[in-house]
Structure 1
Amino acid sequence: MREDIDIEALRQRLLMRARELEAMAATRREAGATVELDQTRTGRLSRMDAMQAQAMARAGDARAQAEYRRIQAALARIDSGEYGYCLDCGEPIGAGRLNADPGNALCLACAERREQ
């Protein structure tokens, strides 16, 4: 277990973000539902506008789901005592990197290597 980071504070941040994502998912489910066009209203949405809104909601939902999975994985690593160590090389992830994003699973060097 790492001594140089406040794991409990990071756990609380992860849990808070997970709750936010769960609430956002409920809202997105409503936004992603089939949009019925109200032909009687002025300024009504066209079918293309409705389809675009649905596509944007689905894309946002996919991003939120990916972030939620990443958070759950970080929480599992905390529980197993593996949190704060790079999944690729096993070296400690910088405290600043974890404070910036507690869901980080890679050290900076390995993250940069993956981006290339």
Structure 2
Amino acid sequence: MSRKLDLARFEELLMRMKSEIEADHTASAESRETVELDQSRVGRLSRMDALAAQAMSSAVAERRRTALRRIEAALARIDEGEFGYCLHCGDPIDVRRLDLDPATPLCVTCSRDHDGSSR
């Protein structure tokens, strides 16, 4: 049984996701900047709050970078004619799964196996 994915739709979804992530990343750049240590300008607790906020913002930025790498990889799979196939087993990924996350590289079975083995 052959299936035909609407690659143009998935490419558009991925490009939209990429643009949104890049815009969020740019908008939050200030919150990742180095926190000043001048206690005459900022109290100790305020500085600690700022450091915590900076750490959280940096963690979010790393998740964004990971998401961008997944999106870039999915776009490359579209270009290579490999989109929609599991990177582990090679079976087709269910369209419903791709609709939820077009950047997903694994089918449900391999994803469960992968998640279960890391525990």
What CA distance in whole angstroms lies between the structure 1 residues aligned with 2:41 and 2:88? 58
1:74-112 deviation digits (Å, cap 9, x = unpaired): 000000000000000000000100011100110000000
Query: Which 5+ residue runs of structure 2 have no aligned equivalent?
Result: none
> SS of 2:85's equivalent?
coil
Q: Which runs of 4+ in 1 moved over 6 A?
A: none
* Change over 3 Å in CA distance of 1:45–1:29 after alignment to 2: farther
| Aligned residue number for residue 51 of structure 1 | 51
| Aligned residue number for residue 114 of structure 2 | 114
Query: Equivalent residues in 2 for 1:63-102 (5 A)?
Result: 63-102=63-102
Task: State the 1:62 CA deviation.
Answer: 0.3
Task: State the 1:38 CA deviation.
Answer: 8.4
| Aligned residue number for residue 35 of structure 2 | 35
Task: State the 1:31 CA deviation.
Answer: 1.0
1:5-58 deviation digits (Å, cap 9, x = unpaired): 2111111010011011111111222111123478569x9961110100100110
What CA distance in whole angstroms lies between the structure 2 residues aligned with 1:78 and 1:21? 20
| Structure with greater contact order relative to length (CA < 8 Å, sep ≥ 6) | 1
What CA distance in whole angstroms lies between the structure 2 residues aligned with 1:28 and 1:45? 22
What is the RMSD computed on CA atoms of the aligned residues? 2.1
| Aligned residue number for residue 60 of structure 2 | 60
Give the TM-score normalised by the residue count of structure 2: 0.86
How many pairs align?
A: 114
> SS of 1:105's equivalent?
coil
For the Cα contact (< 8 Å) 1:85–1:93, is it kept in 2?
A: yes
Task: State the 1:3 CA deviation.
Answer: 3.8
> Percent identity, aligned pairs only?
44
What CA distance in whole angstroms lies between the structure 2 residues aligned with 1:45 and 1:10? 47
Give the TM-score normalised by the residue count of structure 1: 0.88
What CA distance in whole angstroms lies between the structure 2 residues aligned with 1:38 and 1:22? 34
